């Protein structure tokens, strides 16, 4: 038995450019199979869960092109935010000097048959320093999303799903928490704050646990895959991530080298 550790504190360090890729697992139930279509719609950040069997698929996300300079967020509209976050950086494109891409969502778009139970542990998204932490995350349908406000200023969280119902609620006081959940598979579900327009995060809703978010070193790991042939697909909010890689695993040995090289997104004519 192997154990996969996804402590939320590590996830938040990653939001500041700290840790490598994150991934989640859930126990498979014996209920009838389902086959959600998540590919047609253009994070996982979870607490520690047991990984009983299966192969690990590892890889890296890199940027192809000239170096991308980090952009600083302008928070002057709210004096509290400007004082609470002394180095606010735009996380839309986080690319290291070596070309490693953080915050890419990588997932299996043809998951194994079966219904996978959503973990009882919540995925946490925090509003701290007037930014969302983490910036990108995965969550299973039906799993609790715990929304926190760690700032001493008013925030609201506005989930603007295409396939999931929209919600918009205020958290005017520090320490407030609310629980929400999503019901339908959806990749690239935007969350924003209407009070602070620079605040954005991206949820990715799955009905299976085979997904990950690339870390500061561009690395990711998807664990627990049973034997079979799979399509590993990537999504990124700002870079060209409409790509997939086919991989075959035996359900036991690791499979490495499932790498993605991203380019600038092409403008629509």
Read off the pLDDT of residues 160-171 as tens digits, 9 standing for 90 and up. 999 999 999 999
Q: Is 9 exposed, middle or buried (0-12, 13-18, 19+ CB in 10 A)?
A: exposed
| pLDDT of the residue at 155 | 97
Please tell me the predicted confidence (pLDDT) of residue 257. 87
pLDDT at 4: 36
pTM of the model: 0.80
Q: Say how many C-beta atoms besides its own lie within 10 A of residue 17's C-beta.
A: 16
Tokens for 47? 């607490």
CB 96 within 8 A of CB 60: no
Q: What b-and-e string marks burial along 54-92, b requiring 16 or more CB atoms within 10 Å of the CB?
A: bbbbbbbbbbeeeebeeeebebeebeebeebbeebebbb
Listed by start position, the domains of the chain span 2-264
- In this prediction, residue 32 carries a pLDDT of 35
CATH of 2-264, one of 2.40.30.10, 3.20.20.210, 3.40.50.620, 2.60.40.420: 2.60.40.420
The pLDDT assigned to 249 comes to: 96
* CA within 13 Å, CB half, 255: 24
CA nearest 141: which of 99, 102, 181? 181
Flag residues of the chain having pLDDT under 50: 1-51, 269
Q: What is the pLDDT of residue 236?
A: 96
């Amino acid at each position: 038995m192997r154990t996969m550790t996804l402590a939320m504190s590590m996830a938040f360090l990653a939001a500041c450019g700290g840790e490598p890729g994150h991934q989640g697992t859930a126990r498979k139930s014996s209920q009838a199979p389902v086959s959600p279509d998540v590919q047609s719609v253009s994070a996982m950040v979870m607490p520690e869960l047991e990984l009983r069997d299966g192969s690990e698929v590892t890889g890296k996300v890199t940027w192809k092109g000239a170096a991308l300079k980090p952009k600083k967020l302008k928070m002057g509209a709210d004096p509290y935010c400007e004082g609470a976050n002394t180095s606010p950086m735009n996380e839309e494109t986080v690319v290291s000097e070596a070309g490693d891409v953080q915050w890419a969502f990588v997932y299996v778009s043809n998951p194994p048959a079966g219904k996978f139970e959503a973990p009882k542990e919540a995925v946490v998204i925090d509003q701290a320093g007037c930014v969302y932490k983490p910036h990108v995350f995965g969550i299973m349908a039906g799993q609790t999303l715990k929304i926190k406000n760690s700032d001493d200023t008013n925030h609201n969280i506005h989930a603007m799903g295409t396939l999931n119902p929209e919600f918009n609620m205020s958290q005017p006081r520090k320490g407030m928490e609310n629980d929400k959940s999503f019901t339908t598979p959806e990749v690239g579900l935007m969350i924003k704050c209407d009070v602070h327009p620079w605040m954005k995060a991206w949820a990715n809703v799955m009905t299976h646990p085979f997904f990950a978010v690339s870390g500061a070193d561009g690395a990711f790991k998807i664990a627990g895959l049973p034997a079979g042939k799979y399509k590993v697909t990537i999504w990124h909010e700002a870079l060209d991530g409409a790509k997939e890689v086919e991989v075959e695993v035996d359900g036991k040995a690791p499979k490495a080298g499932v790498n993605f090289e991203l380019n600038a997104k092409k403008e629509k004519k």
